[in-house]
Structure 1
Amino acid sequence: MTAVVFLVLLVLGAPIGIILCIAALAFISSSGNDILLSSFGLQMFEALNNFGLLAIPLFILIGELMNGAGITQRLIRLAAAFVGSLKGGLAYVNLVANMMVASILGSATAQIAMMTQVMVPEMEKDGYPRDFSTAVTAFGGLLGPIIPPSIVFVVYAVLAQVAVRDMLVAGILPGLMLSGLFMGTIALLGYRYNYPRGPSLSWRERFAALWGALPMLLIPAIIIGTILGGFGSPTEAAALGALCAALLGLFFTKTLKFSDFGPILLRTGISSSLVLFLVAAAGVFSWVLIFGEVPQTVAVWIQSVATTPVTFMLLVLVILLMVGTVIDGIPGLIMVVPILLPIATDVYGINPIHFGVVVSINLILGLLSPPVGIGLYVAAGVAKISPIAVFRASLPFFAVTLVALVILALFPQISLAFL
């Protein structure tokens, strides 16, 4: 009954948080354990009773303040000054700017929408096909939830009960590796289709662009430096980053006014409540899964198919790739982690941080995969182009992301290098 209710609501397009709560209630009703209803609200509250979750609204606030402070444009000019003169220069600018924005924003969908609006018209004006321009921007946005800060990694850390700091740090090398693979793809496509070069700037002009963007680079430096240096928790680092973004917008770029803070805080509150409600729903759904011994049942089946940690990880990649095509990142994470994590750690001895990096990136890829892929539709909608055309143009980037996932699954040292 629980599975039927879940699938029907999913097909009808109900919000995933509501689906999880109703499915949990359906299980309680079908099992006859009505006494569990008295703990339903308590389980939702307990899921949110975690200091690490405070980082989520603060990271969202940083993104809102960054938009209001005009930080993105300065980072794009900095990227153009150093990589714009390469063949396919604006594609490199797009990717490098996405990397820098990712180290501040931490949200793929917001990043894709913002960067598509800025970069696609510029690339098209310079002679790049619109579908390729949109594909580069969309997959550049994929770096948002990987390079710290990352809301997806924070949610995983809470679900898996591991340190938020460790999850964020574990995303550094995978994010850089994926960026390198994307750059290699752009280089090959640039020579294949003879994409144009941008103007070559003098070192004086490059230094001027660096000087103009230097204060903006303080934000990721403060966030990552505070976490890596052990000077504060990710939540405290996010608070410092938000303060820094606000001060830059008010007194450096002067594009942010005190009257803007009301709407910014309102948008932050709405976005945060959506994510946190998902986490609360995940808490009660996980509680029901454990009570119904679902992880144990799945473990028996997986052990009959996967005999080693390597085959288990490869099986997980296939399963999550299918899950990611119909369910987006955080909801997918909330659904699969309570089931697969105990199997990964208890049966196969896989490090939960390493498992979290692979699972998170795998599900994030679903943001850009048909038929649901919200990131794909956001990019296509902003660029006014067919989502199928964007997906076709993005296939080379999709392929190298799959290669990166296999490498990360087979070599845990990449994720665990800084721990």
Structure 2
Amino acid sequence: MLFIVFLLIGIPISLVLAITSLSYLLLTDLTTLMSSAPQKMFSGLDNFGLLAIPLFMLAGELMNGGGITKRLVAFAKVFIGHYRGGLAYVAVIANMFLASILGSANAQAAMMSKVMVPEMEKEGYSREFSSAITLASSIVAPVIPPSMLFIIYGTLTGASIADLFMAGIVPGFMLGFGFIIIIGMMNHKQQFPKSERASLNTLMRSFFRVMPAMLIPFTIIYGILGGVFTPTESAAIACVIAFIIGFVYRELKLKNLPDILLNTVINTATITFLIVTANLFGFIIAYEQIPQLVAESMLGLSENPLVFLLLVNIFLLLIGTVLDGIAALIILVPVLMPLLVIYQIDPVHFGVIICINLTIGLLTPPVGTGLFIVSSIAKVKFENLVIAIMPFLGMAIIVLLILTFWEDAVMWIPNLYKD
């Protein structure tokens, strides 16, 4: 009850988890729990895989400061911007480019809102539509590798982070293609504007300018798929490449490095504190044997794994409307994991489903953080953005259901590299 009350009055989720957990420990007066709590909090962070989170965040900050982001957007615009509705397609494709580097939907939504919304509005698109397509496209960030949600899920479950990264490639492209279909349908009715066709000279110049920037996603994906390095090592290599390219482009300055490092530390600390408090909350849930109760309830409803996955999807979509994705992941995964063995569901397939599901929560009111970020940056009324996002939200749910019941679409690439 305390958890729900604090959540409803708007206290940050990390503090809600901390206050609720500490209140329980104090009220129950269980010495065993009190003495074990610090160890449980520390053990949540004592995982080498989590090192990838600050490294990928640093890579994203270096990219943004080094002018890599705007060159990727400019590259997409030059090649397809001259088609009717081209700039809307650019928003999707540019987000897919950036997804292979940033791994955070919130960071990508904030960054692209500053870049794409003013540009699209200048071309004649409505501010609401521009904001909606920018926000919707940003949810591919936690799906196309690298992904912070996959890293956290892998550390919680022991599932291979490399397999999770590979499993996210096809779903990420399916989401992007689904949004392109929605734009095409809307374009047919509304006749979106188009830009002037770029000359061949401009096309070639843009291509050569973006080539160094493309080294980062290529290195990350090829390195992991080829078994050259681990996801954590790929994050470190991405930082080095982003640092070098930033100076090659002559936009990354030494005087900017303190701000870049400070932003990385603040963002990392926010996620780290959330992991710590959620781990303590999960410890209490396990002590109360809630996972066992949930397992018994689910088995009482149906023994069919497809029915179980459908029920989990409905449950997670509802949870995503009120709970942050990372917090929900850390709290719910220990509850749901015992059921995967019972229903014989591949943990990598389930990881992709749960991460996409919780990412969709960024688009859903009332607590969709992506909605608040984009409405604030783009200066769009929250309710107008909610209405504009609905077609894209519907497509995201359709893709989620396809991936839920078509396991081969998710597991095709991981299985390819196992054979």
Q: TM-score range by the shorter chain?
A: over 0.9
What residue identity is the alignment partner of 2:4? L
Once the two structures are TM-superposed, the CA of residue 10 in structure 1 deviates from its matched residue by 1.5
Once the two structures are TM-superposed, the CA of residue 12 in structure 1 deviates from its matched residue by 2.7
8 Å contact from structure 2 (residues 84, 193) kept in 1:
yes
Q: Which residue in the other structure is 2:168 paired with?
A: 171
| Counterpart Cα distance in 2 of 1:223 and 1:212 | 20
SS of match in other structure, 1:417: helix
Once the two structures are TM-superposed, the CA of residue 105 in structure 1 deviates from its matched residue by 1.0
| Counterpart Cα distance in 2 of 1:262 and 1:77 | 27
Q: Which residue in the other structure is 1:374 paired with?
A: 369
Once the two structures are TM-superposed, the CA of residue 7 in structure 1 deviates from its matched residue by 1.5
| Bigger mean CA offset, 133-142 vs 11-20 | 11-20
Deviations 1:256-315 (A, max 9, x none): 111211121111111101111222222222222222110010111112223311111111
1:266 pairs with 2:258? no
| Counterpart Cα distance in 2 of 1:322 and 1:408 | 19
Once the two structures are TM-superposed, the CA of residue 405 in structure 1 deviates from its matched residue by 0.6
Q: Which residue in the other structure is 2:277 paired with?
A: 281
| Counterpart Cα distance in 1 of 2:290 and 2:140 | 33
8 Å contact from structure 1 (residues 44, 283) kept in 2:
yes
Once the two structures are TM-superposed, the CA of residue 71 in structure 1 deviates from its matched residue by 1.0
Structure 2 runs not aligned, ≥5 long: 415-419
1:233 pairs with 2:230? yes
| Counterpart Cα distance in 1 of 2:23 and 2:307 | 34
8 Å contact from structure 2 (residues 325, 361) kept in 1:
yes
8 Å contact from structure 2 (residues 41, 279) kept in 1:
yes
1:34 pairs with 2:31? yes
1:200 pairs with 2:197? yes
| Counterpart Cα distance in 2 of 1:381 and 1:291 | 41
8 Å contact from structure 1 (residues 116, 382) kept in 2:
yes
SS of match in other structure, 1:111: helix
Deviations 1:216-275 (A, max 9, x none): 00011111111111111111100000111111112x111111121112111111110111
| Bigger mean CA offset, 281-290 vs 348-357 | 281-290
Q: Which residue in the other structure is 1:407 paired with?
A: 402
Q: Which residue in the other structure is 1:318 paired with?
A: 314
Instruction: Name which of 140, 145, 150 aligns with 1:143.
Output: 140
8 Å contact from structure 2 (residues 103, 145) kept in 1:
yes
Instruction: Name which of 30, 43, 47 aligns with 2:44.
Output: 47
| Counterpart Cα distance in 2 of 1:327 and 1:227 | 31
Q: Which residue in the other structure is 1:309 paired with?
A: 305
Q: Which residue in the other structure is 2:3 paired with?
A: 6
Once the two structures are TM-superposed, the CA of residue 75 in structure 1 deviates from its matched residue by 0.7
Q: Which residue in the other structure is 2:98 paired with?
A: 101
| Counterpart Cα distance in 2 of 1:353 and 1:30 | 38
Q: Which residue in the other structure is 1:215 paired with?
A: 212
| Counterpart Cα distance in 1 of 2:315 and 2:252 | 45
| Counterpart Cα distance in 1 of 2:375 and 2:42 | 38
The percentage of aligned residue pairs carrying the same residue is: 42
Once the two structures are TM-superposed, the CA of residue 346 in structure 1 deviates from its matched residue by 2.1
Instruction: Name which of 347, 363, 376 aligns with 2:358.
Output: 363
Instruction: Name which of 325, 332, 337 aligns with 2:328.
Output: 332
Once the two structures are TM-superposed, the CA of residue 336 in structure 1 deviates from its matched residue by 1.4
| Bigger mean CA offset, 12-21 vs 332-341 | 12-21
Structure 1 runs not aligned, ≥5 long: none
8 Å contact from structure 1 (residues 278, 331) kept in 2:
yes
What residue identity is the alignment partner of 1:287? F
Deviations 1:304-344 (A, max 9, x none): 2233111111111111111101112111112211111221x
* Length, aligned pairs only: 414
| Counterpart Cα distance in 2 of 1:391 and 1:180 | 21
What residue identity is the alignment partner of 1:382? I
What is the TM-score normalised by the length of structure 1?
0.96
What residue identity is the alignment partner of 1:366? G
| Counterpart Cα distance in 2 of 1:130 and 1:14 | 30
8 Å contact from structure 2 (residues 13, 324) kept in 1:
no
What residue identity is the alignment partner of 1:243? V
| Counterpart Cα distance in 2 of 1:380 and 1:283 | 31
1:354 pairs with 2:349? yes
Q: Which residue in the other structure is 2:417 paired with?
A: none
Once the two structures are TM-superposed, the CA of residue 108 in structure 1 deviates from its matched residue by 0.9
| Counterpart Cα distance in 2 of 1:403 and 1:203 | 39
What residue identity is the alignment partner of 2:240? L
Q: Which residue in the other structure is 2:390 paired with?
A: 395
Instruction: Name which of 82, 97, 112 aligns with 2:109.
Output: 112
Deviations 1:151-200 (A, max 9, x none): 11111111222122121121111001111111111111111101122222
Once the two structures are TM-superposed, the CA of residue 29 in structure 1 deviates from its matched residue by 4.2
| Counterpart Cα distance in 1 of 2:378 and 2:280 | 39
SS of match in other structure, 2:413: coil
8 Å contact from structure 1 (residues 145, 151) kept in 2:
yes
Q: Which residue in the other structure is 1:67 paired with?
A: 64
| Bigger mean CA offset, 348-357 vs 301-310 | 301-310
What residue identity is the alignment partner of 1:414? A
8 Å contact from structure 2 (residues 66, 252) kept in 1:
yes
What residue identity is the alignment partner of 1:254? R
| Counterpart Cα distance in 2 of 1:18 and 1:390 | 28
Once the two structures are TM-superposed, the CA of residue 28 in structure 1 deviates from its matched residue by 3.6
8 Å contact from structure 1 (residues 306, 315) kept in 2:
no
| Counterpart Cα distance in 2 of 1:46 and 1:73 | 39
